[in-house]
């Protein structure tokens, strides 16, 4: 009787907890979409921003966000995956491993504004690149790397030991086993890890203010020579992202339709992040099903 | 006297402080089936894993004594463990096919060992699947995932996968414990057929199975090898009272 009552109370507590979380998140998303959703239009999504006049869009900012994301993932994923493989497969229980883990934890809990200032010193000034996509991408890599390493390590540790043993039993060496059995089995986890990390980066502003910069040159979307200053693909040009744009418009915006741009951008941002997370789940389970053939 | 295929001498094995195998001495002859029996936790799986150094993967494991394969100690420092595992392969208690197609499962080993020629691989895959008596059931679905097969089929895929690398010794850890009687019978027939070419060591909890398939039986009790000899003798005139109790089910 007592045990059953305790069970009921525990269940109720968990339900209430979950409900509170859902309510807070749900109302935030609803609030942003309600205030910003009505401003989203094709024009808004494609036109360039205005400095003082009304009617600006967020086209280049959206492009910059995605391109920056792509550049940073290009650096983050290979390094992160290699690091995760090392920690899961090769690192012993020793001082070095402990030190590495401590570094990763610390890096992970670093406020992003600190990463931004570090980026300003190293990626912007020391390299002489100035505010640029590449500096921003490197700053984002600093933020992302710990997460990617951890996701990879978890995905690899999740691969059943029986598969590993089966491979070793056939006379495969450690590296062959990792490459042909462990990584393919961990692949769905790696993909969702990469996408979830992407979503986090997409909303990042503080680390980018002083690395990728707060402005975009006039972009010529027909210029595909990546070294041309007006080329959207030039990694050495400054690039204001959507999140940075929201921050800038809200803090120092001079445009008369400030609310429209800020709220509309926020709605777009949250939709994209939501999309990322849903894509991660969907893709992860789809790949898993395809690979296991079930 | 001819040389044994595997000769275990004064073997002691520890998981950290836990003494899991106590001074085991055992000779395994080529082309014979040796059955390992004994109550749960007595060290049968541990013993199998010592034979192809799968325990190297577990931290804190210590092995003393010697294990000779064709007269060569597999625990000597310069032993090539990867090559050793190619010569001594294991079939696990639970079928563990790779999440790949049937074909890729079987071709995995040969590919690892450098065979790339498609026709050669086709040949090996068919030969191995036939040898494991599973060819008829999967020949139409070679390129579909092996995960979709039944437990008994998966286990024979695992055996075929092992045969494809042509090991000399097959270690089988309760290969039929997850299978129904029909699938079990097929595996037992398979073992009888395979012993012409391979040396087989099989762990089983099923006394009838040990009696049916093995030539030699070894009885383990809490890390000790209590008794071993011809299966007929062990099952009809065991010398140790505990062996008799265990075999007749009067144990504990
Ligand atoms: N990785 C390990 N670390 C520590 N102790 C272990 C480990 N693996 C097995 N043991 C211990 O070693 C002893 C022998 O285990 P083993 O798995 O060899 O038994 P078994 O005879 O195969 O039993 P079963 O018939 O249940 O499979 C057991 O007491 C077990 O608890
Ligand atoms: Mg066992």
| ipTM confidence | 0.87
Pair A230, A223: CB distance under 8 Å: yes
Contact residues, chain B, for A294 at CB < 8 Å: 145, 147-148
Distance between CA B221 and CA B225 in Å, rounded?
Answer: 6
Distance between CA A117 and CA A139 in Å, rounded?
Answer: 9
What are the C-alpha distances in Å from B83 to residues A17, B3, B113? 55, 21, 10
Tell me yes or no: is domain B6-95+169-247 CATH 3.40.50.300.
yes
One pLDDT digit (tens) per residue for chain A, 294 residues:
688 888 999 999 999 999 999 999 999 999 988 988 888 888 878 888 777 777 777 888 888 888 999 999 999 999 999 999 999 988 888 899 999 999 999 998 889 899 999 999 999 888 888 888 899 999 999 999 999 999 999 999 999 999 999 999 999 999 999 999 999 889 888 888 888 888 777 888 888 888 888 877 777 777 777 777 778 888 888 888 888 888 888 888 778 788 888 888 888 988 888 888 888 788 878 877 776 655
- Could you tell me if A91 and A73 lie in one domain? yes
- Asked if B148's CB is within 8 angstroms of A171's CB, the reply is no
Q: Which residue puts its alpha carbon closest to atom 12 of ligand 1?
A: B20
- Could you tell me if A11 and A133 lie in one domain? no
Of B54, B99, B108, the CB nearest to A170: B108
- Could you tell me if A104 and A120 lie in one domain? yes
Distance between CA B194 and CA B175 in Å, rounded?
Answer: 14
Nearest CA in chain A to B161: A170
Of B89, B145, B158, the CB nearest to A292: B145
Contact residues, chain A, for B153 at CB < 8 Å: none
* Ligand 1 pocket residue status of B186, Cβ below 6 Å: no
Q: What value does the mean pLDDT take over residues B35-39?
A: 92
* Ligand 1 pocket residue status of B44, Cβ below 6 Å: yes
Q: Provide the domain limits for residue A8.
A: 1-37
Q: Which ligand gives the minimal distance to the CA of B49?
A: 1
Ligand 1 centroid to Cα of residue B175, in Å, is 17
Contact residues, chain A, for B113 at CB < 8 Å: 171
- Could you tell me if A152 and A258 lie in one domain? yes
Give me the pLDDT at residue A1, please: 63
Of B85, B92, B147, the CB nearest to A171: B85
Nearest CA in chain A to B144: A293
B109–chain A Cβ distance below 8 A for any pair: yes
Q: Pick the atom of ligand 1 nearest to B46's CA.
A: 18
Nearest CA in chain B to A167: B109
- Asked if B85's CB is within 8 angstroms of A168's CB, the reply is yes
Specify which residues B216 forms β-bridges with.
Answer: B34, B230
Distance from CA of B124 to the nearest CA of A (A): 15
Domain residue limits, chain B: 6-95+169-247
Distance between CA B32 and CA A184 in Å, rounded?
Answer: 38
Both tokens of B32, joined, read 């014979």
* Ligand 1 pocket residue status of B58, Cβ below 6 Å: yes
Both tokens of A50, joined, read 């205005």
Residue to test with chain A: of B85, B113, B153, most A Cβ within 10 A: B85
Pair A78, A86: CB distance under 8 Å: no
In 3D, which of A42, A38, A45 has the Cα closest to residue A65?
A45
Q: How far is CA B220 from the centre of its chain?
A: 16
* Ligand 1 pocket residue status of B222, Cβ below 6 Å: no
* Ligand 1 pocket residue status of B18, Cβ below 6 Å: yes
Q: Within the 154-183 window of chain A, which residues sit less than 8 Å (CB to CB) from chain B? A: 160, 162-163, 165-173, 176, 180-181
pLDDT per position as a tens digit, B195-232 = 899 999 999 998 889 999 999 999 999 989 888 889 98
* HSE-CB for A42 with a 13 A CA cutoff: 0
> Does residue B56 sit in helix, strand or coil?
helix
Q: How many domains does chain A have?
A: 2
- Could you tell me if A104 and A18 lie in one domain? no
Distance between CA A159 and CA A164 in Å, rounded?
Answer: 8
Distance between CA B45 and CA B42 in Å, rounded?
Answer: 9
- Asked if A171's CB is within 8 angstroms of B59's CB, the reply is no
- Could you tell me if A59 and A73 lie in one domain? yes
- Asked if B90's CB is within 8 angstroms of A93's CB, the reply is no
- Could you tell me if A96 and A222 lie in one domain? yes
Of all helices (H) and strands (E), which one includes residue B88? strand B88-91
Of all helices (H) and strands (E), which one includes residue B171? strand B169-173
**Which long-range contacts link A43-48 to residues 24+ away (Cβ below 8 Å)?**
A44/A264, A45/A268, A48/A218, A48/A219
Distance between CA B206 and CA B212 in Å, rounded?
Answer: 10
- Could you tell me if A184 and A233 lie in one domain? yes
Cβ-proximal residues to A287 (8 Å cutoff; 6+ apart), any chain: A187, A188, A191
């Amino acid at each position: 009787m007592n045990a059953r009552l305790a069970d009921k109370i525990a269940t109720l507590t968990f339900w209430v907890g979950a409900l509170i979380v859902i309510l807070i998140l749900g109302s935030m998303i609803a609030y942003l979409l309600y205030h910003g959703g009505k401003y989203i239009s094709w024009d808004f999504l494609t036109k360039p921003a205005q400095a003082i006049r009304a009617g600006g869009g967020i086209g280049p900012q959206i492009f910059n966000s995605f391109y920056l994301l792509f550049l940073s993932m290009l650096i983050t994923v290979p390094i992160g995956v290699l690091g995760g493989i090392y920690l899961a497969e090769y690192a012993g229980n020793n001082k070095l491993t402990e030190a590495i883990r401590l570094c990763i934890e610390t890096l992970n809990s670093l406020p992003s504004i600190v990463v931004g200032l570090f980026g300003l010193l190293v990626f912007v000034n020391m390299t002489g690149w100035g505010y640029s996509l590449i500096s921003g991408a490197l700053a984002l890599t600093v933020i992302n790397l710990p997460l990617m390493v951890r996701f990879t390590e978890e995905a690899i540790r999740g691969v059943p030991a029986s598969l590993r043993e089966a491979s070793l039993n056939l006379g495969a060496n450690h590296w062959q086993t990792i490459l042909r059995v462990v990584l393919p089995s961990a692949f769905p986890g790696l993909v969702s890890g990469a996408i979830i990390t992407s979503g986090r980066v997409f909303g990042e502003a503080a680390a980018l203010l002083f690395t990728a910069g707060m402005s975009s040159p006039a972009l010529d979307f027909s210029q595909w020579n990546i070294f041309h200053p007006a080329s959207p693909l030039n990694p050495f040009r400054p690039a204001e992202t959507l999140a940075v744009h929201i921050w800038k418009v809200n803090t120092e915006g001079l445009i008369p339709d400030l609310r429209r741009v800020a709220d509309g951008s926020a709605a777009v941002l949250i939709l994209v992040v939501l999309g990322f997370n849903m894509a991660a789940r969907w893709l992860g389970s789809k790949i898993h099903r395809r690979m296991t053939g079930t | 006297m001819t040389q044994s295929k595997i000769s275990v001498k004064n073997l002691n094995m520890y998981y950290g402080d836990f003494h899991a195998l106590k001074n085991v001495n055992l000779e395994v002859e080529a082309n014979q089936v040796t059955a390992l029996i004994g109550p749960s936790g007595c060290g049968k799986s541990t013993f199998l894993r010592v034979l192809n150094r799968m325990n190297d993967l577990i931290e804190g494991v210590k092995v003393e004594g010697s294990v000779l394969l064709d007269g060569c100690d597999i625990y000597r420092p310069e032993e090539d463990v990867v090559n050793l595992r190619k010569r001594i392969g294991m079939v696990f208690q639970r079928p563990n096919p790779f999440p790949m197609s049937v074909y890729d499962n079987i071709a995995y080993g040969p590919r690892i060992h450098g065979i790339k020629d498609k026709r050669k691989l086709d040949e090996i895959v068919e030969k191995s699947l036939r040898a494991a008596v599973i060819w008829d059931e999967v020949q139409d679905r070679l390129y579909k995932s092996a995960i979709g097969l039944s437990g008994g089929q998966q286990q024979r895929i695992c055996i075929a996968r092992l045969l494809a690398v042509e090991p000399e010794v097959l270690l089988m850890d309760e290969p039929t414990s997850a299978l129904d009687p029909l699938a079990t019978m097929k595996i037992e027939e398979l073992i009888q057929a395979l012993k012409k070419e391979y040396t087989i060591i099989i762990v089983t909890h099923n006394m009838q199975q040990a009696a049916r398939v093995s030539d030699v039986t070894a009885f383990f009790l809490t890390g000790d090898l209590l008794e071993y000899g011809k299966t007929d003798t062990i099952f009809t005139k065991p010398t140790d009272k505990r062996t008799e109790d265990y075999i007749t089910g009067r144990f504990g």
